[in-house]
Amino acid sequence: MPKTSQTFPLSLFLALTLMAGAQNIRNPIDGIMATGEQIAQVRFMLEVYSSIGAGIKYQTPKKKLKNAIHAYEETVESLQKNMTDPAIQTAVQKSLNAWPPVRKALLTALEKRDSNAMKKEALFVHGNIRTVIKEMEVMKDIFLKKAKTSKVREINAGIEIAASARRLSSHYMLKMWQVPDPTIEQHWNKGMEQYAKALDLLKKTSITNDPQSAAWLKTCSKEYTFFQTVIGFEEYVPVLVQRHADTAYQTAGKIVMKLLGHAGTP
């Protein structure tokens, strides 16, 4: 395996969002924030699992994985408890049905297992986590309609940048760890394509007229350029990938939060 770094910085943004709790989903804006967060963070679980399997121990990755699992389960519990829309409840149930085997596989990272056994679990998670993500996307779209905001395209683009950053980082870790999955490159390319489309959309909207939003968008563009180049590096650099993924994720989150603060305005 190519040389890798063992330093993995903790995302302050992730810590803050997890500490904020997911149990207070009471309205469409809360729902958009919660489901948008989980669309990215469910992918983050695969990223952390792979980093544990690859032997990266810096800054308690096992604790990060447990926190991410807990946050997902709190989110689904709140949605199930507080949302009466039948379509949301159907999506919640589908997500819940898909979750137990994925959760079981993820939790093997907390056990003492050899790398090959963990790679098999990573393959399972990679193949089965998509249903969980898909149902979060269904709920996010329902909440966007309920919010009656004119910023749907922009909000979706911001959420996509955050999710794509996590998708890219997780697949980079799978590649670095040499997980025998022939779809890794395909998913990497899809992540790059989705990231680029979201950037292009936002660059053509009115958010570029706001200096703060324009600066955030410029940062997201810089991170996209990084991902374009990092895949060609001779050595694996998980530290840099995590840092840049965190920056893209956090910055896109700021764009989404600001757009949601103006939900309903032209």
Over residues 68-97, mean pLDDT? 96
CA proximity to 69, closest of 42, 47, 93: 42
Structure token digits, residue 266: 């032209």
Half-sphere exposure of 59 (CA within 13 A, CB side): 13
HEC profile for 146-161?
A: HHCCCCHHHHHHHHHH
pLDDT band at 154 (very low <50, low <70, confident <90, very high): very high
Q: Report pLDDT for 263.
A: 52
pLDDT at 265 over 60: no
pTM, rounded to two decimals: 0.89
Over residues 90-109, mean pLDDT? 96
Pairwise CA distance, residues 168 & 48, whole Å: 13
pLDDT band at 7 (very low <50, low <70, confident <90, very high): very low
Q: Report pLDDT for 19.
A: 34
Over residues 193-218, mean pLDDT? 97
Q: Report pLDDT for 59.
A: 67
CA 34, distance to chain mean position in Å, is 12
For the chain, what percent of residues have pLDDT higher than 70? 89
For the chain, what percent of residues have pLDDT higher than 90? 81
Q: Report pLDDT for 55.
A: 87
* Average pLDDT taken over every residue of the chain: 89
